């Protein structure tokens, strides 16, 4: 993501990063290090996510972490010995992108003690967010577009003042991997979401429109999550809580038109690595 920070059209200041998952599809690489620290070329996945949030005008980065995630905290902190060693050399430039983020942002952390699903991770972030709308980035969904996806979503939030979820068409055979939505097309190209199903079988999917890892959520989601029982896979599903808001006409779909890489899967990760190697200068 190469956007420069622009004016945020909304008062959304906080971006929440649920990063507590185990990343089992990347074992053994993720045995002792977070999946979000795996690099796409020279930058870890989580840094792409933070850059996207900054480009959307957000400057407080709130992480829901778990065990073995300390490398994320260290990444967003100054490393005095290393910086001292390369200071004044040509290698200094390699740290400029991360130094800029450290200078521009505040980083806050809370731990999710049991992996009870994305919905539970978001609820765990409540003390960091409080009663304000906030962005959510799942860093393993790496999104490449002309401008920050989250920035585009904040514009839609400014218009509709409700939850915004990024959606993308997926292959029919992949609908069972996603939260699938359907609804009514609006004149501005967005979708008023009416139906949502988490990881449906092909014959039960209302469409092939999948929610991807970008959201703007309103704080009423926390009370709903508190009341949401475990769903698919025994986990507290964000989709189940969003369904409650969709029934109140409070969820808008943002059709994402850029390129997305599912870096939680090995294939997507390799694809992203090749793409960014070809399209990006070292940052
Ligand atoms: P995933 O299910 O894709 O991530 O969750 P995972 O569990 O880390 O990966 P695998 O399937 O074992 O390989 C989507 C996002 O939600 C976060 C994950 O960190 C990831 O960013 N998450 C999921 C949590 O923070 N807590 C949870 O309890 C579950």
4 within domain boundaries: no
Does position 4 have pLDDT exceeding 50, yes or no? no
Please report the beta strands in 30-112, taking only residues with DSSP state E, as ranges in sequence order. Answer: 39-40, 43-44, 60-65, 106-111
Structural domain for 227, as ranges:
14-282
Q: Mean pLDDT, to the nearest integer, of 11-25?
A: 94
Average pLDDT, the chain: 93
User: In this structure, is residue 196 part of a structural domain?
Assistant: yes
Whole-number Å distance, alpha carbon 22 to ligand 1 midpoint, is: 6
153: phi > 0 → left, psi -120 to 50 → alpha, else beta; which? Answer: alpha
Count of beta carbons in the 10 Å neighbourhood of residue 136: 27
**Residues lining ligand 1, judged by CB closer than 6 Å?**
18-25, 35, 64, 112, 115-118, 120-121, 138, 140, 264
Task: Say how many Å lie between the CA of residue 277 and the centre of ligand 1.
Answer: 26
202, part of any domain? yes
Asked, for residue 154, whether it belongs to a domain, the answer is: yes
| Of the candidates 244, 29, 209, 24, the residue with the CA atom closest to the CA atom of residue 119 | 244
Atom 1 (ligand 1): residue with closest C-alpha?
21
Asked if residue 199 belongs to a domain, the reply is yes
Query: Contact 159/188 with Cβ under 8 angstroms?
Result: yes
Give nearest CA residue, ligand 1 atom 27. 117
pLDDT tens for each residue of 193-220: 999 999 999 999 999 999 999 999 999 9
In a domain, 9, yes or no: no
Residue 232 clears pLDDT 80, i.e. is over it: no
In the reported structure, the alpha carbon of residue 35 is separated from the centroid of ligand 1 by a whole-number distance in angstroms of 9
Contact 132, 11 (CB under 8 A): yes
Q: How many domains does the chain have?
A: 1
Residue 6 placed within a domain: no
The answer to whether residue 50 sits within a structural domain is: yes
Residue 280 is predicted with a pLDDT of 76
- CATH code, domain with 182: 3.90.550.10
pLDDT tens, residue by residue, 114-134: 999 999 999 999 999 999 999
């Amino acid at each position: 993501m190469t956007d420069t920070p622009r004016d945020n059209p909304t008062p959304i200041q906080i971006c929440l990063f649920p990063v507590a998952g185990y990343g089992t599809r990347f074992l053994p690489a993720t045995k002792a290090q977070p999946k979000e620290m795996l690099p796409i070329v020279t930058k870890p996945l989580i840094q792409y996510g933070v850059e996207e949030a900054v480009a959307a005008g957000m400057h407080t980065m709130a992480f829901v972490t778990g065990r073995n995630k300390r490398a994320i905290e260290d990444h967003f902190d100054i490393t005095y010995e290393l910086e001292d060693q390369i200071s004044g050399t040509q290698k200094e430039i390699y740290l400029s992108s991360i130094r800029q983020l450290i200078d521009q942002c505040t980083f806050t952390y809370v731990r999710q003690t049991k992996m009870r699903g994305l919905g539970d991770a978001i609820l765990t972030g409540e003390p960091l967010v409080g009663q304000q709308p906030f962005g959510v980035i799942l860093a393993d969904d790496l999104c490449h577009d002309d401008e920050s996806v989250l920035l585009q979503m904040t514009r839609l939030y400014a218009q509709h003042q409700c939850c915004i979820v990024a959606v993308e068409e997926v292959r029919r055979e992949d609908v069972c991997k996603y939260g699938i939505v359907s609804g009514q097309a609006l004149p501005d190209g967005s979708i008023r979401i009416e139906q949502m199903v988490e990881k449906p079988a092909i014959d039960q999917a209302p469409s092939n429109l999948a929610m991807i890892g970008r959201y703007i959520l309103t704080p009423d989601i926390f009370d709903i999550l508190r009341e949401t029982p475990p769903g698919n896979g025994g986990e507290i599903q964000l989709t189940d809580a969003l369904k409650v808001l969709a029934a109140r006409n409070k969820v808008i779909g943002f059709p994402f038109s850029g390129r997305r890489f599912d870096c939680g899967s090995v294939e997507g990760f390799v694809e992203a690595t090749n793409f960014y190697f070809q399209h990006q200068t070292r940052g």
